[in-house]
Amino acid sequence: MSQPLEHTRDVLPISNGALRATLIVAALGYFVDVFDLVLFGVIRVASLRDLGLSGEELTKTGVYLQNMQMGGLLIGGIVWGVITDRFGRRAGLFGSILCYSLATLANGFVNSIEAYAVLRLIAGFGLAGKLGAGVTLVLELMKRGTRGLGPTAIATIGVAGAVVAALVGAHLHWRTAYYIGGGLGIVLLCLRIGSSESRLFQAMTPQWSLWCLVKSPARLWRYTLLVLIALPTWYVVGIIAIFTPEIARAMNFQGTTLPTAGNAIMYTYIGIVVGDLASGLVSQLMRSRIRAIVVFTILAMVAIATFFMIAQHSLLAYYGALVFIGFSVGYWAVFVTLAAESFGTNLRGTVATSVPNFVRGAVIPMTMLWQFLKSDHVNVIQSTIIVGAIAFALAFVGVFGLKDTFTRDLDYQEN
């Protein structure tokens, strides 16, 4: 059941200047978010070698640290989501930025795997609140017909952080790269002045949202379907791009220089930047979130099939195929918009913040399955294809089980 919010007319409308300031803070918050997530993948090998690891330990420990980060994202997605619905969108956004900034700065000082793992967990926890809180805030400040453009701008600017992370990680010492990431977060906190709170949140009686979400099987199922939709994006980022050295060797790469994880991540995210912009515009033109996601998901299957057919021939073919794949899975902005629009104001922050992080956290079982299969059952390429097939099958279950939200009024709460 749902009911309209009362007293929304008593809240003063936001000015264009305040809307722009809020949009900038949200977009830069996601920029820092993606910067840190990608940075670890870029400097994984260099940092672990500097800490004394080699050989197969680089892969095993890399997976362990990535999973610690993703575990932090899972926990933080719930915690910051609840904070966003209880204390305000701005509270969730700025609190998560502060937590991330301090943890990432500290990452530059680690001298053991144990400390590295703990700080990756804390950094992931801090990262978890930025995107959902920012998108929720912007969606609730914009008009119905054009509100999808807000998350599109956030995602397009935000994922550009991956390209910057790849360049920083490739040309600077890994400790310096972490200092830069933490410093960016501190600078972002200084820019928070001028951003506005959501008028829908101001009109609502704040509450603890988690129980309202879990007490209804129908809501939990809706939530689960949203998580499934975006699994292909993080299958591509968390396996194909990050573990490029292992995949390239397994496909008997014919070039003289093996593709690197840093470059693979950078080129994948170049495609995602363009894909986020394109999918957002396609969603606006089609006046549908669902149809846009279906189009890009089908395109992603074509792109991945192309990758496995041509990528082994040269660096140009390998990285070019990754750009194509990145473009096709770049429907993240539409996915987050759909998630935020699928629930009432009293649950919107919790859902929009936690759903993307559960998708990211799904990298944990995906990489565990990938490692299990390639270790004892099939080769690396077959393992990668099997995990991808499962991710895409679940994505279609999700997308066809949800209702479109393009024209939905967001001025309501759920009982």
Domains, the chain, in order of start with CATH, read 13-197+216-407 (1.20.1250.20)
Virtual CA dihedral for 335, 338, 344, 347, nearest 10 degrees?
-10
What integer pLDDT is reported at residue 291 of this predicted model?
Answer: 96
C-alpha of 51 from chain center: 28
Signed CA dihedral, 339, 341, 347, 349: sign only: positive
Q: Confidence class of residue 335 from pLDDT cuts 50, 70 and 90?
A: very high
Tell me if 411 sits within 8 A of 345, measured CB to CB.
Answer: yes
Tell me the three state secondary structure of residue 47.
helix
Residue 2 phi/psi, 5-degree rounding, is -140, 160
Q: How far is CA 255 from CA 40, 305, 316, 317, in A?
A: 26, 20, 9, 10
What is the DSSP secondary-structure string of 321-338? Answer: HHHHHHHHT--HHHHHHH
Closest CA to 395 of 235, 262, 159: 235
What integer pLDDT is reported at residue 3 of this predicted model?
Answer: 54
Distance (Å, whole) CA 372 – CA 374: 6
Q: Give alpha helix (H) positions in 251-379.
A: 261-286, 289-310, 315-328, 332-341, 345-361, 363-376
Q: Give alpha helix (H) positions in 191-260.
A: 199-203, 210-214, 217-229, 231-235, 244-250
Query: Does position 370 have pLDDT exceeding 70, yes or no?
Result: yes
Q: Confidence class of residue 12 from pLDDT cuts 50, 70 and 90?
A: very low
Tell me the three state secondary structure of residue 176.
helix
Hey, which residues does 3 pair with through a beta bridge? 413
Distance (Å, whole) CA 76 – CA 356: 11
Could you tell me how many residues make up the chain?
415
Query: Does position 211 have pLDDT exceeding 80, yes or no?
Result: no
Q: How far is CA 288 from CA 33, 94, 229, 355, 406, in A?
A: 27, 31, 15, 20, 5
What integer pLDDT is reported at residue 10 of this predicted model?
Answer: 42
Most confident of 90-104, 366-380, 390-404: 390-404
77-116 pLDDT tens trace: 889 888 888 887 778 778 888 898 899 999 999 999 999 9
What integer pLDDT is reported at residue 309 of this predicted model?
Answer: 94
Share of the chain above pLDDT 90, in %: 39
Query: Does position 317 have pLDDT exceeding 50, yes or no?
Result: yes
Query: Does position 28 have pLDDT exceeding 90, yes or no?
Result: no
- Name the residue with higher pLDDT: 292 or 273: 292
Neighbours of 382 (CB within 10 A): 13
Buried-exposed string 182-216: b where 16+ CB fall within 10 A, e elsewhere: bebbeebeeeeeebbbbbbbbbbeeeebbebbeee
Name the average pLDDT for the chain: 85
What integer pLDDT is reported at residue 55 of this predicted model?
Answer: 82
Query: Does position 9 have pLDDT exceeding 50, yes or no?
Result: no
Q: Confidence class of residue 316 from pLDDT cuts 50, 70 and 90?
A: very high
Distance (Å, whole) CA 357 – CA 376: 30
Most confident of 96-110, 190-204, 301-315: 301-315
Q: Confidence class of residue 67 from pLDDT cuts 50, 70 and 90?
A: confident
Closest CA to 201 of 137, 146, 131: 137
Q: Which two tokens stand for residue 339?
A: 């998630």
Share of the chain above pLDDT 70, in %: 91
Distance (Å, whole) CA 196 – CA 193: 9
What integer pLDDT is reported at residue 306 of this predicted model?
Answer: 96
Angle between helices 56-87 and 113-127 (to 10 degrees): 30
Per the listing, tokens 């918050």 go with 29
Distance (Å, whole) CA 109 – CA 123: 14
146-194 pLDDT tens trace: 788 888 888 888 888 888 888 898 889 999 999 999 998 888 777 665 5
pTM equals: 0.80
What integer pLDDT is reported at residue 1 of this predicted model?
Answer: 47
